[in-house]
Amino acid sequence: MIMKRVFLTIAIISVLFIIECKKDTAYTPDCSGAVKSYKTDVKPLISSYCAQCHNFSTYSQLSANAANIRSRIVDGSMPKNATLSSDQKNKIVCWIDSGFPNN
């Protein structure tokens, strides 16, 4: 009886701990690699992860919203229905930070 409660308590504490740790792993951009390309790095990600809900499919639509897009990707609030890996975030964020070239 008591053992069950002890295990339950430990389980709940562990779950809460894991949730807290996940929140703490905030994303920090790493732009040490090569300058990112709109065509090969950014456009495919936008088509897969954003196009269902947003009109960001052309260069001009995307560049016009670059600052907003950057902050939503850094804070992880977009894409709404998925989570990008740090590598995927880096591609978009670093492309924007390099002045979003149409390359």
Q: Which residues would be at the binding site for ligand HEC (CB under 6 A)? A: 49-50, 52-54, 65, 68-69, 72-73, 78-81
Min separation Cβ 89 and ligand HEC, Å:
9
Q: Are 15 and 81 within 8 A, CB to CB?
A: no
Which residue, 39 or 80, has its beta carbon nearer to ligand HEC? 80
For the bound state, the minimum distance from the C-beta of residue 40 to ligand HEC, rounded and expressed in Å, comes to 17
Q: Angle CA(20)–CA(26)–CA(31) in degrees, nearest 5?
A: 160
Which structure tokens are listed for 67? 């600052």
- 8 Å CB contact between 91 and 36: yes
Of 17 and 30, nearer to ligand HEC (C-beta) is: 30
Residue given tokens 């001009």 in the structure block: 60
Rounded distance between C-alpha atoms, residue 102 and residue 19, angstroms:
39
| C-beta closer to ligand HEC: residue 1 or 81 | 81
Smallest separation, CB 19 to ligand HEC (Å): 21
